[in-house]
Each structure stands twice: as C-alpha cells, then as structure tokens.
Chain A
Amino acid sequence: MPERRTILPLRTGLLFLAPAAIFVVAFIVLPFFWVAVVSFTNRSLTGPGALHPHFVGLTNYLQLFAPRTFLQPGQFGSSLLITGQFVLFSALIGQAVLGLVLAWLFYRRESWVKQTVQTLAIVAWIIPDVVVAFAWSAFLDYGQGTLNHILTGLGLPRVDWLLGVPMLSIILFNTWRGTAFSMLLFSSALGSIPPSHLETADVTGANAWQKLRDIILPLIRTHIVTDLILITLWTFNTFTPFLITGGGPAFRTEVVSILTYRIAFKYFNFGSGSAIGMIMMLINLAFALVYLSLLRRREATR
C-alpha cells in the first residue's frame, strides 16, 4: 500500500473512536473476560456453586471433551457436529450460494421484478424472530402446515418436517432467513465491477457461467471471504432454531448456542456454559483465519 497522506491525526482519530471504544470495552471486552475466567470455575447461579464458587482448572473443558460421552446426543461433540452441518449447509451453501445466484440473476437489471424479489428476501431477513417462529411453525406443521398442503396438492406424500427431518427443516429455515445479507453484499460487490471488464467477455462470446467463473468470482473474491466470515460467525451463534424445534427432537437440532442456553440458563451451570463459549470463539477464530489465509494465498499466486 503506497504511503498516503494522513487525513485524521492519530489523536483526533482516537478521539473519534473513543465513544465506540468505551461501549465495546464495557459491553464486550469485560463480559468476555468474565466468561473466560468463569470457564475455569464451578460457578453456578443456584446450588452450592453459587455460594462458594472456586477454581476447578480445566475440569469444565475436560468434561466437555470426555471421550465416553462426547458424541452422545445432547453432549458437546454431538452438538458441534450438528452445528457444523448447520453452518455448512445453511450458511455456506444455502445463504452464500443462493445470495450469489440472486445477485447474479439481477445483475445489471433494474426492474420491478428485481425490487419485488429482493424485497421479499429482505422481509424474510428483517421480521422479528418470534414472528418468524410462528410463521415457520405453521409452515412446517405436519397436519395443517402450508408446506405439506402444497406437497399433497402436488400428489406427493406429507413429510414430518419437525420430527422426521428436523435438520433439513432448520437448514431450509436459516437459508430462507439469512440469504438477504449475502444477496445485498454480492449485489453491491457486482455493482462495483467496472462494466468494461464484462464487455470484453461479451465480445469474446463467453457464456454466463464462464463470465461468472472467470471474471466475476475472481473480482469479488474479497467480498466472498468477508461474507463467509460474517455469515459463519452469525450462523454459529444464532439461537433462532430454538424457537422452531427447541433443539429437539432428542437433541437432533441442538446447535451449540442452544446447548449453551440449556447449560447456562436452564441448569444455571455458568462454568460449563462459559467453557463452551470460549471454545466456540476459538473455533470461530480458526474459521476466520482459514478464510483469510485462503484469500492471501490466492492473492499471492496471482
């Protein structure tokens, strides 16, 4: 990066940053350290652990990873696998791919069709959680739900969405819910591509897929990485599936955020709940680093 003239001197910059920094320190950094410290204690809200919490070393972590129970339903390992599937299929494949498809479909087209489809996607993204939960409970209901209504109308058998294929249900749900963000991000990324890049391709007669693969995707690579980082983080931590399945049946949709809730807020076991929070942060960090290093490597080979 060439040396550029400083527009804001450091001190003024820090001054501008200060109000946000105060909030971040108070409401993010402090709680973070609380979680970090408590993860090494047996602190709880009720029971003896509330009266006399003490340090227990790595016990909470070791219990989470206890090989005997690790992969049993309702345990941390099983929940991690579920979360992994959930992130992979609903965020990385569902939201990102569908978002890209929608952005690409309406690329360089301004019309009421685009406005309508994008607005519908955004509505799915902005309506409140509890409302969405009502809507989807009715949508997926076995006996009366809209989706089964459509299926039987098409002569297909009904599907027991919430009990038979609960993972698929929350994956469909989260894709529906969150695609708008990726769509918006990719739309504006596409919008920032100089038209001349594509005109050359038009002249050489490249088809749409070739244009997407050879020109567009490389150009918006950084946006893709940013999108993947953000939606991965968000999906890892989203609690909304709880409103639809409650984590069930039999823990089959208990993603880590729901497990944390159960341990920290139903059992009031803060030590263990905090340990999960810490591990999740490390996993998120690992993901972010992998994405960023992929980006760097691609840049280096160009």
Chain B
Amino acid sequence: MSVHPKKLLLALGALVAFAIPAFAQTALTITCRCVAGGVNDAEVQWLQNYVIPNFEKAMADKGTPVKVTLNQFGGSDEALKQQYALDLSVKKGYDVMAFDGFWIPEFASGGLLKPLETVAGSAVTNWDGWSHISQGIQDIMAYDGQRYGIANGTDVRMIFYRKDIFQEAGVPNADSWQPTSWQDIVNTAEMIKKALPNSYPLQIDAGTNMGEATTLQGYYMLILGTGEQPFMNGKWVIRSQGILDTLNFYKKIYVDTKLGDQRVQLVKDGRNQSFANFRDGITSMLVESDWFYRSVTKPGSEFAVKNRDQVMGWAKMPAEKPGMGIRGQDFVTASGGTGWVLNPNTAHPAEAWDLLAFMNSKAARDDFETYQPTISARDDVPVPNNPFLTTTAKILLPLTVSRPNNDAYAKVSEQIQLMTENVVSGQMSPQQAMDAYAAAVTQIVGVQNTVDLLKSASN
C-alpha cells in the first residue's frame, strides 16, 4: 500500500476544509471507514476512480466547480461512530459521511443529523432516484418518517456451509442441504462433530465482542424463528418464551454440547477467528450476511475458502419448527444496510447533496458493482454475473425483517449482546440472563415501553 504525495496534499486539503470551511468555497469532504489496500478497499477505488473525477467534471461542466476530498478512516466502526458523534456535536465533520443504517435513529433523535430535505431542500424531494428505491430500503436510512441519507443497498442473512466437510462427515444431500428446524441443524452438527471430533461445526454469533454481528447475525436469526422480534407492537419485549428458546439454543450449542466454539464467542478477536475456522473447515456451518460471500471469502482475501464455488454452499435459516417463524414463516432472514448521510452543518448543502445524488445515480451504482457485487438499493441496478447474490436476494428479500427504527435500539442491542454472552460463557442460566436483560432494558426505555410476554400469557 503506498500513499502518493498527491494524497498527502489532498489530506492537507481535508485539514484546511475541516478547520476553516468558510474559506474553502467549493471544497467538499467525504469520509468512510475505508483504506486503499485495506479495509473496504472497493469503496476507495470506486470513490477515487469513478465518483470524484466524474463528479468534479460534471460540476465543472455545469459552471460550479468543486473539489472533493476523501478522508480514509482506518479504525473500527465503533471508533468512526465516536468521531462522528463528537464532530457533529460541535457542528463540524465531513460533508458526506458513510453511515450504518442502525446508527441513524440515535443520531437523529440526538439532533446530530437533520432530515435530507431540511439540509438541502427541494432538490432532495425532487430527486429522480427515489422512485427506484423501495420504501423498505429508503427506511434503512430514515427515522420517524424522515429520510436522513441514501442507502447503498441491503443485505440478507443465511447459513453458509461447507459441502466438502459435510461429505466427509457423511451428511446426506451435502450439495443441497436445507434444514427445516433448529433440531435439524443440531442433528447435522452432531453428525459432523462425531466424524470430526476436533471440529466446531456450528457458528452463530454471540457475545459482546462481536458487536452488532451478534445481534443481527446471531440473535435475530434465532429469535425470528420463534415468531418474535425484540420490538413488537411499539414495545420492547423483555421476557418471553422466544427469548428463552433462543438462549437455550445458544446454551445447547456453546455450553452443553460444544457444537460451537465457545472461545471464539468470548475472545476479543473472535469474529475473525470464526472466519478462520470456516476457512480451515473447523467450522462448517456459519450464519452470516451475503457480505461474507462478497467480501470475506472472496478469492485472494485473508479468509478466502479454496475452491469456493465447489465447496461452499448456503441454506435458508429455518424457524425453530416449521411455520413457527415470524409471520408464520418456515424460514427467516434479517436485513440491514449502510449508506451515506449529509452533514447538517455543511457549508455547501447544495453541492453536498449533488455529490450524494451523484453517488447514488444509476451510472455510479452500476460502476460500484464492478468493484464489488452487492444487492443495490436501486431496482434499476442489477447484480452483474453473480448468480449467488441474484438468487439469495430473490429468495430471501421477501422473507426479511429489518431492525426497529427506534432511538433506543442501539442501546438495547448492546444488552442483547450482553445477554447472549452471559449465557454462552456459562455464567448465567437463560432465565437469569433474561431477567438481567429485562432489568437493563427497562432502565433504558422505561417500564411503560416494555412488555413481558410471559406475564401476560399467564394472566
């Protein structure tokens, strides 16, 4: 990875723009958790090779020249969120910022972000791109009925499995494996564990170190299969049979049977270790989003699976029992998404919006697909030559559920992670962990916003 002198100059430009935006008349800044040659490299390549030059040219042609500077942030998502919050709290920050959808409610309700229409006016309302983005996907970057940003795309979650390991262990139908209940998954895992005693066949994320992955890839994928969600009918569910079933499943896998690698849920770098386990065949079933396919196991990457197209398959996540899933479904999945927001404090709201709209034009999103195929937010941007994404999107998107658009969500999510950690570490029983969760969530959202399904059932 090399940094050109030009890049240093650009960075210097960012410094100037940050410190004295008033003098930098048409300088725009944009940032993401992305480093050339490092994390989210595709984003950097796309921005630097396509977006910035083409946008600058388009604006110059219009007679309103701009200079766009990309600030590459190399830290963790959590660290980026901290910097955003600090910057926005003093009315600073970059003009256009990469944002995870589930941060929006927290930032919007704190007054740190403003609706796009408030920032950039009617140009937003009149943007022709909205008609190509479904309401559900617009909602990823929305709060309280207002749009705060534009989503790049969305994702879906599933079980990835290793056909080669399945065959080795004698699992029937290794090429088209599809469990229909949690018990099916356990049976398969036990079969593999028996054949390969040193393996940990199943990975369902748990614990605080995995952060939001625990909530969405782990807990959600299970609790949806019990027909419940953490937030139902405007209230947070603090006690329920679904929570107990979910926690008991975690306990069975990580504490009772060791079908999953307990260590990985608890150590600091566990998520990457879980990827390494899958790459090495120690783990043969792993619940993840399509990101696992398009980025983590991509050929040439650190966790690339050899002969991926032959040995790696995917299956839908079953409900606890057929028909028991959310909305009576047999199979469940969950979706999130990331996108870009406008800084409400930008000195150039019109130009910043122009940039955001340009980044989400059909041409720009088409170009992004050449760097990294993804399920685009726009319905007119197909996934090129990628049967995996095309198929999973078609099958799973109709089944999907998104996280609640609620400002307490991020805090409750941390409590969910904590609750799973308490169980998989073996230091609490599912009942105790649920009680601790109930107390903590009640403290966060207030008792009037909670519901105890066990209590109302017995009454």
Contacts and interface: CB of A to CB of B under 8 A. Distances in A.
B89 A51 contact: no
A162 B270 CA distance: 12
A152 interface: no
B436 A45 contact: no
Contact of A142 (B85, B263, B436): B263
B422 A163 contact: no
Interface stretch (B46-54, B106-114, B349-357): B106-114
B327 interface: no
How many chain B residues sit at the interface, stated as a range, is 20 to 34
A77 interface: no
Contacts of A68: 439
A7 B89 CA distance: 50
Contact of A248 (B111, B209, B407): B209
A266 B266 contact: no
B266 A250 contact: yes
B443 A267 contact: no
A23 B209 CA distance: 38
Contacts of A69: 436, 439-440
Nearest to B266: A249
Contact of A63 (B208, B436, B443): B443
Contact of B422 (A50, A73, A160, A265): A73
Interface string A231-245: 000000000000011
A49 B110 contact: yes
A248 B422 CA distance: 11
Given A69-B439, A249-B267, A250-B422, A47 B209 contact: no
Contacts of B410: 46
B110 A48 contact: yes
Given A73-B422, A250-B427, A44 B110 contact: yes
Nearest to A245: B268
A162 B264 CA distance: 11
A163 B266 contact: yes
A44 B439 CA distance: 20
Contact of A163 (B89, B267, B421): B267
A51 B268 contact: no
Contacts of A50: 89, 110-112
B208 A248 contact: yes
A268 interface: yes
B425 A249 contact: yes
Contacts of B414: 266-267
Interface in A159-173: 160, 162-163
B427 A73 contact: yes
A145 interface: no
A162 B266 CA distance: 9
A51 B267 contact: no
Contacts of A246: 209, 268
Contacts of B107: 46
A16 to B, nearest CB: 35
Nearest to B84: A46
A72 interface: yes
Nearest to B408: A47
Contact of B85 (A45, A48, A74, A245): A45
Nearest to A45: B85
Contacts of A244: 268
A106 B7 CA distance: 53
B231 to A, nearest CB: 16
Contacts of A49: 110
A4 B111 CA distance: 61
B61 interface: no
A51 B411 contact: no
Contacts of B418: 74
B189 to A, nearest CB: 22
Given A63-B443, A249-B267, A265-B82, A45 B110 contact: yes
Nearest to A160: B263
Given A68-B439, A162-B267, A47 B109 contact: yes
B266 A45 contact: no
Interface in B267-281: 267-268
B106 A47 contact: yes
Contacts of A265: 82
B86 interface: yes
Contact of B110 (A46, A160, A249): A46
A277 B301 CA distance: 43
Contacts of B440: 69
A48 B107 CA distance: 9
Interface string A246-267: 1011110000000000000111
Contacts of A251: 421
Contacts of A142: 263
B309 interface: no
A46 B111 CA distance: 8
A289 to B, nearest CB: 34
Contacts of A73: 422, 427-428
Contact of B425 (A44, A162, A245, A250): A250
A48 B414 CA distance: 18
Nearest to A243: B268
B403 to A, nearest CB: 16
A244 B209 CA distance: 12
Contacts of A44: 110
B268 A48 contact: no
Question: Which 5 A-B pairs give the minimum distances between C-beta atoms?
Answer: A50-B110, A249-B266, A250-B425, A246-B268, A46-B110
30 contacts: A45-B85, A46-B85, A46-B106, A46-B110, A47-B109, A47-B407, A47-B411, A50-B89, A51-B109, A51-B111, A63-B443, A68-B439, A69-B436, A73-B427, A73-B428, A74-B418, A142-B263, A160-B263, A163-B266, A244-B268, A246-B209, A248-B266, A248-B267, A248-B268, A249-B421, A250-B422, A251-B421, A265-B82, A266-B414, A268-B85
Given A44-B110, A47-B408, A246-B209, 17 more contacts: A46-B107, A50-B112, A51-B111, A63-B443, A69-B439, A69-B440, A74-B418, A160-B263, A162-B267, A162-B268, A245-B268, A248-B266, A249-B425, A250-B421, A250-B422, A250-B427, A266-B414
